[in-house]
């Protein structure tokens, strides 16, 4: 995969990375019509970037306002292994309501896939593995089910995983997290995914009593929808000087989440909100399903 090198002194590291990726897609991306959505996208293959969470701070986009409660609550819902938005998530957001079946179940919920779907609690096993063998290189969690996801032009599910696997390594007393994404809507989806999975990296690092390390994000298909071109052009023009965000997790965050302590979400949201100084929200952005 092609790595992109960025250098801009007036924005946070993630803003810098994001702005350059958006610019690259808009200027060099291939414009094609998606058979599934009937929308045009501009797309580039094989994009990758990395952030040093300890050095660069928490990667929360400031070029437009991102709803903090959404990715915080969603990531906690994932950790809980639920596939029902009514269980914890809906109090904070209805982001998954478009993907529920008549029983109010998200059949392809990430956390459910991590913890129950394959007959193994992958997250629990990951934690046990790295507690027992911190140098292990086998800390891989998968949400893509090869028995039912994708590979069919005729039968399409309402939703299949976009971030479909991640790997966790502890190297040099720091926890490093590599997130692999088959398809990323870079206006709405990517900033949300980066913040959510970086939060998971912080939570795991805290549990293992190590520092957060490198967060890596690899995208097979990085694209912008035609309905978001106006937002991309605006994002390319914006500049926002912003101090890096320091995330200090509450004590025993993972344990409290697993005990369904709802107050931990409010604490995390408050902690991030107090430091967040974004530019104005971008009106008119709608998800393409």
- Residues identified as active-site: 162
- Taking residue 152's Cβ as centre, other Cβ atoms within 10 Å add up to 9
Cβ atoms of 166 and 138 closer than 8 Å: no
Phi, psi of 83 (to 5 degrees): -130, 15
- The answer to whether residues 22 and 235 touch, using CB atoms and an 8 Å cutoff, is yes
Q: Which residues pair with 211 in a beta bridge?
A: 174
Which among 197, 199, 136 has a CA at the least distance from the CA of 170? 136
Could you give the CA distance from residue 166 to residue 218 in angstroms, rounded to a whole number? 10
- Residues 6 or more apart in contact with residue 10 via CB below 8 angstroms: 239, 241
Contact 82, 88 (CB under 8 A): yes
Q: How many residues does the chain have?
A: 289
Task: Look at residues 196, 204, 159, 157 and name the one whose alpha carbon lies nearest to residue 179.
Answer: 196
CA atoms of 237 and 200, how far apart (whole Å): 31
Residues 6+ apart with CB under 8 A from 45: 220, 221, 222
For residues 8 and 25, is the Cβ–Cβ distance under 8 A? no
């Amino acid at each position: 995969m092609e790595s992109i090198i960025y250098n801009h002194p007036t924005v946070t590291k993630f803003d810098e990375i994001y702005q350059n990726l958006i610019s690259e897609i808009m200027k060099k991306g291939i414009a094609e019509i998606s058979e599934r959505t009937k929308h045009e996208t501009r797309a580039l293959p094989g994009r990758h970037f990395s952030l040093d969470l300890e050095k660069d701070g928490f990667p929360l986009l400031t070029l437009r306002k991102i709803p903090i409660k959404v990715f915080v609550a969603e990531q906690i819902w994932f950790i809980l292994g639920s596939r029902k938005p009514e269980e914890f998530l809906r109090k904070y957001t209805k982001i998954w309501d478009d993907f529920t079946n008549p029983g109010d179940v998200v059949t392809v919920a990430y956390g459910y896939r991590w913890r129950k779907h394959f007959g193994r609690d992958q997250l629990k096993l990951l934690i046990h593995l790295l507690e027992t063998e911190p140098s292990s290189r086998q800390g891989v969690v998968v949400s893509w089910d090869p028995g039912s996801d994708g590979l069919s032009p005729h039968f399409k599910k309402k939703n299949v995983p976009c971030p479909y696997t991640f790997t966790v390594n502890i190297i040099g007393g720091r926890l490093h997290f590599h997130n692999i994404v088959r398809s990323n809507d870079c206006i709405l989806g990517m900033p949300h995914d980066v913040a959510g999975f970086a939060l998971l990296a912080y939570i795991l690092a805290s549990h293992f009593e190590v520092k957060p390390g490198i967060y890596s994000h690899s995208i097979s298909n990085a694209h912008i929808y035609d309905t978001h071109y106006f937002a991309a052009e605006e994002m390319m023009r914006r500049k926002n000087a912003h101090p890096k965000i320091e995330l200090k997790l509450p004590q025993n965050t993972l344990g409290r989440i697993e005990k369904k302590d709802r107050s931990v979400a409010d604490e995390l949201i408050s902690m991030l909100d107090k430091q967040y100084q974004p530019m104005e929200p971008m009106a008119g952005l709608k998800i393409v399903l």
